[in-house]
């Protein structure tokens, strides 16, 4: 079964998110944040920070490393603790880490 054929997990308000880091696959500020498949098409499951040309940017990244990467990024962006806590709890439920 191709991982790319399944739908990304939607946020409560219907927005899809990366199944590796939890980043929205589309944002008003940045636009389309989807990664790319080998054929150049946009991924429906992975963001451009995690997935390029049909492969993970960091294929050896562990769950704990991803949690730390996301937490550090949210901290740098000035996100408040409850959002960071929620991300830490959600990442293990994403498809890449199940």
Distance CA 69, CA 44 (A): 22
Question: Full-prediction pTM beyond 0.85?
Answer: no
Q: How many domains does the chain have?
A: 1
How many distinct helices (H) and strands (E) make up the chain? 2, 6
Q: Is a pLDDT exceeding 60 seen at residue 4?
A: no
Question: pLDDT tens across 21-64, in order?
Answer: 999 999 888 899 999 999 999 999 999 999 999 999 999 999 99
Provide the residue range defining the domain that includes 18.
3-97
Q: To the nearest 10°, the Cα dihedral for 42, 46, 51, 53? A: -20
Residue 83 burial (CB count, 10 A): 11
Q: What is the mean pLDDT of the chain?
A: 87
Beta strand extents in 3-60 (DSSP E only): 26-27, 31-32, 34-36, 42-47, 51-52, 55-56
């Amino acid at each position: 079964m191709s991982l790319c054929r399944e739908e990304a997990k939607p946020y409560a308000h219907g927005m899809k998110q990366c199944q590796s880091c939890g980043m929205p696959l589309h944002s008003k500020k940045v636009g389309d944040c989807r990664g790319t498949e080998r054929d150049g098409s946009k991924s429906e499951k992975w963001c451009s920070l995690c997935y390029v040309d049909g492969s993970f940017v960091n294929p050896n990244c562990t769950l704990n490393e991803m949690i730390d990467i996301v937490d550090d990024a949210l901290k740098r962006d000035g996100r408040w603790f409850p959002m960071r806590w929620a991300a830490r709890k959600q990442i293990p439920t994403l498809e890449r880490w199940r």
